[in-house]
Structure 1
Amino acid sequence: MSMRLTRRSLVGATALVAAPALLAPRPARAQGWPNGPIRLVVPFAPGGSTDLSARLVADGLAQRLGVPVVVENRAGAGATTGSQMVADAPPDGQTLVMSNIASHAISPTLYGNLRYDPVRSFTHIAMVITNPSVWVVHPRSEIANLADLVRLAKTRQGGLDMASSGAGSSNHLLMVRFCEQAGIPFTHVPFRGAGPAMTAVIANQVPMMSDSLPSAAGHIRQGSVRAIAMSSAQRHPGFPGVPTFIEQGFDLSSTSWFALSGPAGMDPGVVQRLNREVKAVVATPDSQRRFAEMGGAPGDMTPEEFTAFVAAEVARWAPVVRASGATVG
């Protein structure tokens, strides 16, 4: 597959989102917050890991805060469309985003014209869940493992069609890294979320997809797709029959994450309250059970730790994107 190197800098994106302090909306104070329904923006289509995690958190927060927490799906442009909406929102604690590895670690390098800075344009509040990726095929597919995938790709001009939740997702880059190691071409088929991509695989319209485990777990258990590889370092305890990439001879491991963030400038009291409430939600037995069913692990970070984590993720993924040559358009 032919790809162009992306050499855009995040410095320019940061400058574009900088606004004079005098024009910034005043943040809501902890006392009296929340003062109405909270909007939780999911920058992907319904049905994927980000959406599933967001709805679990939204239900728990609504119960604990006593106000509706409304999930709003705004998919597009590698999860940057919905994220930009929240970056532009007033920092009153009433509009939040389900930040993730695509919107806040990969897309800032992949999209050279991005108008937000993944760290400075947001208030990072709490980690929610981390999980590996899994590759799935139609249950009647001739692809039973990665060796079969490589063999089949070499017989087809342009390689195999491989689906993901969107350009710039960690699953997209995992495919890039795999095909570079395997020495095979491929055609990326991006969808506006994991749900539509999974539907295409189940309908046998696309040979395979790279998906985050939470959104694929139910389909794997139901037998509507078959898992052929897991990106965790060791076999996942919930899916012990699925071998890792490493076991199959490829030096690849990858973990996705989903978290809660808001616009820059939120009141520290609101941030600390949200962090406590998110931790309480993910610590309940029901959440623990649902996370285990989804194949994810609940997160536990302070706002300061999570902010540092996002900065480290940008630094970690930027050279991967540049070295792969992956770019949008």
Structure 2
Amino acid sequence: MKLKKMKLFATGTAFAMLFGGAASAAECIAPANAGGGWDFTCRQIGKIMYDIGVVDAPIQVTNMAGAGGGLAYSNVVNERNEDEELIVAASSATSTRLAQNAFGGMTSDQVRFLGAIGADPGVIVVAADSPYETLADLVNAIIADPGSVTFAGGSAAGGFDHLKPLMILQRAGFTDVRSIKYIGVDGGADAITQTIGGFTQAMTGDMSEIVGFIRAGEVRALAVLTEERVPGFEDIPTAREQGYDVVAVNWRGLYVPGGISDEAYERWAERLRAVAESAEWQETMAANGLAPFTKVGGDFQAWVDGVIAETEALSREIGVIQ
């Protein structure tokens, strides 16, 4: 038994050295209170990094709630810009708020986006008895008469749920996005209830919000807004394969301070890739309803830059920002 433990220790130590050596002072900021999505990201990714040996000590989690992530963002930019042992939980809400200038004038280029390794896929849903059988049916109905369809979503007007159908319609060549009717309610369950009850014609939200309703046969998902069909829900086509090139997911990922070295950035990127490829992370995704979505390093930074630019332009069109 002692020999086995020594072998495990040696393997873990070698693996940690391969990924940049000791990380005993590493910290992950969750920009919200305990129990939320950002807290989940820090705790699960940090735990797996330690369990698989890419860091040699547990990663400390610090909850820093405030301003929808803005307090943590300000702290990183102003106080810890060169801290190479710091990672910060982020999601699509982070990029949306940056695009809409919700962080008091701070901009996305003040940090470096590290990667996303899982996502809650966006969906467009109608009631089971809806006349709209496909995404094209819904889009064509809106193009013919914008007032004929009202969407319900769990975010406020201008939030991510609101933007999802607008992106699809833009891909269809529809330009009058202000004419699209949207009602923001208190969460995805309320949005589905509005649609099932016939008060709205469609729901825009996330996969995790509709699973129970799909299994109960109460709704029909017209599209999932991912690059590929979601495991376990292979009968739901993507928007892409239906001719609308939109990927809109509530990604789970990290950013790091903008002033760290390229070497430190790549070190964290390799650690995150190792988590994404681990059996432990596959189990965590399955247990928490996340779909595979892996973009790490420069590819992720470029993707986020594009998302922010599109979100900013769309937010101006609908009057969320000037």
Instruction: Specify the alignment match of 2:5 in structure 1.
Output: none
**What secondary structure does 2:296 align onto?**
coil
Instruction: Specify the alignment match of 2:270 in structure 1.
Output: 276
Instruction: Specify the alignment match of 1:70 in structure 2.
Output: 61
The question of 1:263 aligning with 2:263 is answered no
The question of 1:174 aligning with 2:164 is answered yes
Instruction: Specify the alignment match of 1:115 in structure 2.
Output: 105
Cα distance change on mapping 1:312 and 1:185 into 2, 3 Å: closer
The offset of 1:122, in angstroms, is 0.7
**What secondary structure does 1:97 align onto?**
strand
Q: Which amino acid aligns with 1:96?
A: I
The offset of 1:189, in angstroms, is 0.9
Identity of matched residues, %:
16
Task: Tell me if structure 1 keeps the 8 A contact 2:157–2:182.
Answer: no
The offset of 1:176, in angstroms, is 2.6
The question of 1:97 aligning with 2:88 is answered yes
Cα distance change on mapping 1:305 and 1:34 into 2, 3 Å: farther
Match of 1:160 among 147, 150, 157: 150
Q: Which amino acid aligns with 1:187?
A: Y
Task: Give TM-score, length-normalised by structure 2.
Answer: 0.64
Alpha-carbon deviations, 1:112-163, whole Å to 9, x = none?
87422202x113333323564113467x7757655479879x9998963521
**What secondary structure does 1:297 align onto?**
coil
Cα distance change on mapping 1:269 and 1:42 into 2, 3 Å: farther
Structure 2 regions of 5+ residues with no counterpart? 1-19
Structure 2 distance, partners of 1:83, 1:141, is 45
Cα distance change on mapping 1:58 and 1:73 into 2, 3 Å: farther
Task: Give TM-score, length-normalised by structure 1.
Answer: 0.63
Task: Tell me if structure 2 keeps the 8 A contact 1:201–1:225.
Answer: no
Instruction: Specify the alignment match of 2:235 in structure 1.
Output: 241
Task: Tell me if structure 2 keeps the 8 A contact 1:130–1:255.
Answer: no
Structure 2 distance, partners of 1:118, 1:44, is 25
Instruction: Specify the alignment match of 2:244 in structure 1.
Output: 251
Structure 1 distance, partners of 2:129, 2:62, is 35
Alpha-carbon deviations, 1:226-277, whole Å to 9, x = none?
33422246644531222444677x7352233432112222355543432222
Task: Tell me if structure 2 keeps the 8 A contact 1:235–1:242.
Answer: yes
Match of 1:135 among 113, 124, 128: 124
Task: Tell me if structure 2 keeps the 8 A contact 1:118–1:310.
Answer: no
Structure 1 distance, partners of 2:65, 2:308, is 22
Structure 2 distance, partners of 1:36, 1:233, is 33
Instruction: Specify the alignment match of 2:11 in structure 1.
Output: none
Instruction: Specify the alignment match of 1:200 in structure 2.
Output: 190
Instruction: Specify the alignment match of 2:45 in structure 1.
Output: 57
Structure 2 distance, partners of 1:220, 1:52, is 25
The offset of 1:290, in angstroms, is 4.0
More helix by share: 2
Aligned residues: 285
Instruction: Specify the alignment match of 1:41 in structure 2.
Output: 31
The question of 1:187 aligning with 2:182 is answered yes
Structure 2 distance, partners of 1:43, 1:251, is 37
Q: Which amino acid aligns with 2:244?
A: D
Larger Rg computed on CA atoms: 2
Structure 1 distance, partners of 2:275, 2:129, is 39
The offset of 1:278, in angstroms, is 1.6
Cα distance change on mapping 1:107 and 1:199 into 2, 3 Å: same
